[in-house]
A and B are shown apart, each in its own frame.
Chain A
Amino acid sequence: MARSEETRKILEDIRVNLHIGIVKKGVEVWNKWLKANPNIEPDLSGAALRKVDLRGANLREANLTGADLHEANLINANLFMARLIKADLSQANLRNARVILGDLKGANLSKADLRGADLSDADLTEVDLSGANLMGASVAGTNMKKANLTDADLRGCSLIQTNFTEAMLTGAKLYGTARDDWKIGGLACKYVYWDFDGKQRSPKDRDLEPGEFERLYAALPTIEYIFEHGMSPIDPLIMDRVVQAIRDKWPEFDIKIDSINARGLAPSIKFTVQHEEQKEPALEEVRKGYKTKLRQLESERDRYWEVIKAAFDKPREVKLITAGPGAIVATDGSTINIQQHIHNALELQKAIAEEPEESKSFAKVAKKTALDIIGEAIKDIAKGQVKEAAKQIIELGKDFGPIVAKTAAYAFFKSLI
C-alpha cells in the first residue's frame, strides 16, 4: 500500500471505531450528535452491530459497507442514500425504514422484515432477499438485477419500473403488486403465488418453463388516452370499436385495452402496443379514431331525428301500411297510433331529461344511457316495432323506479305488453 493511502486508511479506521463507539451509546445519543454535527459522514463500514437496536436511527448517507447487522432492529431508520454494500442484514427488522437511493449491492437481506420499507430507486443488484417480507414495501425503480427473491413476500408491493433482470422469483407472493413497466428479462421463476393468502401455487400442477413467466407477464409499452372533459359510459364502448379498427389497419401494433380508469379528475384508458416506437403512432390513431367515431355518432343522432320526423309527417315513408290518420299497422299486424306512441315516449324522455344528474334514481343507469334507450325505443316505434319499444321502456322503469314508472306514458307502454 502506498504511504499516503496507509495513512488515510489508518485515520478512516479510527473514525469507524469512534463512530461505532457513539452508535453503541444508543440511538438518541447518535441522532443528537449527528444533528449537532451535520458535516459528519457516518462511517460504520465493517462494524459488528449484530442485534443492535437502531430504531429510528439517522443513518442518512452512512457508510455501512460490509457491516454485520444480522437481526439488527432498524425499524423506521433513515437509510437514505446509505451504502450497505455486502452488508449482512439477514433477519434484520427494517419495517418502515427509508432506504431510498441506497446502495445494497450484494447485501444479505434473507428473511429480513421490510414491511412498508421504502426502497425506491435503491440498488439491490445481486442482493439476497430469499424469504424476506416486503409486504407493502415500495420497490419502485429499484434495481434488483440478479437478486434472489425466492419465497419473498411481495404482496401489495409497488414494483413500478423495478428491474428484475436475471433475478430469481420462484415461490414469491405477488398479490396486489403494481407492476407497470417492470423488467423481467431472463428472470428465473418456476412458480409464484398470486392469491391474497399466498397459498395457491400458480401454475398448480407444473413448473413454469424457462422464459414462460417473462412471456406471460412482461410489461408492454403503454399509451394513455386522457378524457379531458370527463368520461361518459359509452366512451369505453367507442374505444373498443376504435381498437378494433386500429387492429385491422395496423395488425403489427397488436393494440389492446390495458385498463380503464373512470375515476378522478382525469379519467383515462390505457392501451398496450408491442414496441416502444409504436407508441406515438398508435396514440395518434387512437385520437383520430375516437374523434371519427364521435362524429359518426353525431351524424347517427341526426339520422334518428329524421326518422322521427318522417314518422310524424309521412308515415308511408317508413314503409308501413297506413290505417287512418296518424295510425299504422305494426309489424305484428295490429293497428297502432304511431303519433300517440311517440308522444308518450317523448313525455318519458322529458321526465328523465329534467331529473337532476346527482339524483339517486340515476345510481344504476346514467342519464345519458337512459336517454339513449328512450331514443332507441322511439326509433323502434317509428319502424312499427312497438312491443320491442315497450319492453325497453319497461326495463328502464325497473332501473329508474318512480321517475319513469309513475308516468302515464309508462302505464300506457306497460298495457301494450
Chain B
Amino acid sequence: MNNSVPEIDKILQRIDNVLKSNRRIELLYIVLTTILFGCGIGCMIRALVTGAFAWSTPSAVTTGLLYWPLKQIRSIRKENIALATAPILIERLPSDKAAVELQKLLHTLYGEQ
C-alpha cells in the first residue's frame, strides 16, 4: 500500500488516540459548563435572598454562555460514536457494505460530501 494511505492497524491506533484526547477535552468542557452553571445559580440565589435583583443579570449571561460548551460536548460525543463505530464496520461487514455505511456516517457528521 502507498505511504499516503495508512494501514488499517495504524488507523485504529489513531482512533484510540483521538478517543482518549476527546475524553480529556469532554471532561474539561463538563467542568467549564458546571462552573458556569454554578455561577449562574449562585447569582440567582443571591438575588432572591438579598432582594438585589441586579444579581440576576450575571445569571442570565452565564446561562446564555452555556450554549457553546454544550454544543462542543454534543459534537465530541457524535464524533466519539462515529469513531467507535468505524472499527466495527470494518471488522464485521464486507468492504462494499462497510463503505456504504461509512459514507452515511460521514454524511451525518459533516453533511453533503
Q: Are A and B associated in one complex?
A: yes
Q: Which residues of A contact B (CB under 8 A)?
A: 3-4, 6-8, 10-22, 29, 33, 37, 39-41, 45-48, 66-68
Q: Does residue B39 face the partner (Cβ distance < 8 Å to A)?
A: no
Cβ B103 vs Cβ A41 within 8 A:
yes
Interface SS of B by simple majority: helix
Cβ A11 vs Cβ B102 within 8 A:
yes
Contact partners of A40 in chain B: CB under 8 A: 99-100, 103
Q: Number of residues in B with C-beta < 8 Å to the partner?
A: 34
Cβ B98 vs Cβ A68 within 8 A:
no
Q: Which residues of B contact A (CB under 8 A)?
A: 1-6, 8, 11, 14-15, 18, 21-22, 25, 75-76, 79, 82-83, 86, 89-90, 95-96, 98-100, 102-103, 105-106, 109-110, 113
Q: With A and B bound together, what is the CA distance between A8 and B102 in angstroms?
A: 11
Cβ A13 vs Cβ B11 within 8 A:
yes
Cβ A33 vs Cβ B86 within 8 A:
no
Interface SS of A by simple majority: helix
Contact partners of A66 in chain B: CB under 8 A: 2, 4
A-B contact count (CB 8 A): 90
Q: With A and B bound together, what is the CA distance between A352 and B43 in angstroms?
A: 114
Which residue of the partner chain A has the closest CB to B105? A11
Cβ B106 vs Cβ A12 within 8 A:
yes
Contact partners of B100 in chain A: CB under 8 A: 37, 40
B54 to chain A, nearest CB (A): 39
Which residue of the partner chain B has the closest CB to A16? B5
Cβ A48 vs Cβ B1 within 8 A:
yes
Which residue of the partner chain B has the closest CB to A7? B79
Contact partners of B11 in chain A: CB under 8 A: 10, 13-14, 17
Select A46's contact among B5, B75, B82, beta carbons within 8 Å.
B5
Q: With A and B bound together, what is the CA distance between A19 and B83 in angstroms?
A: 18
Contact partners of B98 in chain A: CB under 8 A: 18
- 15 sampled A-B residue pairs with Cβ under 8 A: A4-B79, A7-B83, A10-B83, A11-B86, A11-B102, A11-B106, A14-B102, A18-B90, A20-B5, A22-B99, A29-B96, A33-B96, A37-B103, A39-B103, A48-B1
A298 to chain B, nearest CB (A): 67
Cβ B18 vs Cβ A7 within 8 A:
yes
Cβ B18 vs Cβ A11 within 8 A:
no
User: Which 4 pairs of residues, A with B, have the shortest CB-CB distance?
Assistant: A46-B4, A48-B2, A21-B95, A18-B99
With A4-B75, A7-B79, A11-B82 given, is the CB distance from A17 to B5 under 8 Å?
A: yes
Contact partners of B79 in chain A: CB under 8 A: 3-4, 7
Cβ A13 vs Cβ B25 within 8 A:
no
Cβ A3 vs Cβ B96 within 8 A:
no
